[in-house]
Amino acid sequence: MTPREQWIAYATIVIKEVTRFMRIWQQTLVPPAISTLLYFVIFGSLIGKRIGQMDGFDYMDFLVPGLILMAVINASYQNVVGSFFGAKWGKSIEELLVSPTPNSIILLAYVTGGVARGILVGLIVTGISLLFTDLNIYSLGILASVVILTAILFSLGGFINAIFAKTFDDVSIVPTFVLLPLTYLGGVFYSIHLLGEFWQQVSKVNPILYMVNAFRYGFLGISDVGLAFSYGMIVFFIVCFFALSLYLLTYSRGLRA
């Protein structure tokens, strides 16, 4: 395929993906808005007032970046795992596999779909947060880059999950038993400085901690960990996940006998 033909194939898959999640907006866009609204009301407004300050900021201000990023992580992951596994389960993925579209283009297009939903959900959640607090932005560049890189990473994670999944139960195992604990323990709701030295070191093994802190740095200018190291971690995982996804797309027995 020529580069132009590859671009057309890429755009076709992306348009299809975006159309899909916009068509079922009640399932893809509304639930994160409602759950985040509840987080803001319960943890931010009600409990947050009693907590006072966290790392020198109102608890609500501390909480907002983590909740936005948590919504982005879930949306991008869910989009790719749901869409790709659905196509695999219904065999419509064969439409793509028999075509000359290179595997790298298929992967990039699905990831773009996941990033698009992640960013859209992130914007919705950000809009909701404005009902509760005034957002101060320390660095728009850091915010944009972290949210995009994080969405890319978790879209790739969803893609890998979808390739390995054999049933719809397999699709929900990783989000429930891996993603949720890592997100909750990744500094969304608290600063790791509240933990003892040992648990601080344990927390630093969690890659989501670096993403949440880098994103919070974009809003507040504070972080529990080094910014450069955070970027390094995210990019490192993206490279690893991309290579693994491409390998699986080419050789996995889950797709090709």
Q: Out of 53, 99, 136, 201, point to the residue binding another protein (CB under 8 A).
A: 99
131 vs 248: CA distance, rounded Å: 43
Compare residues 95 and 221 and give the one whose CB is closer to another protein. 95
CB of 110 to another protein, least distance (A): 13
- Cβ burial, residue 176 (10 Å; 0-12/13-18/19+): exposed
Stretch that binds another protein, among 67-75, 194-202, 233-241, 249-257 (CB under 8 A): 249-257
CB of 159 to another protein, least distance (A): 18
Amino acid identity for residue 187 in this structure: G
Q: Out of 28, 74, 78, 101, point to the residue binding another protein (CB under 8 A).
A: 101
Under a CB-based contact definition with an 8 Å cutoff, are residues 120 and 149 in contact?
no
Q: Out of 16, 45, 55, 244, point to the residue binding another protein (CB under 8 A).
A: 16
Which tokens is 41 given? 């009301």
Amino acid identity for residue 106 in this structure: I
Is position 163 an interface residue for another protein (rule: CB under 8 A)? no
Is position 253 an interface residue for another protein (rule: CB under 8 A)? yes
Contacts of 187 (CB under 8 A, 6+ apart): 66, 203, 208, 209, 212, 213, 216, 224
Point out which residues bind another protein (CB under 8 A): 1-2, 4-6, 8-9, 11-13, 16, 87, 90-92, 94-102, 251, 253, 256-257
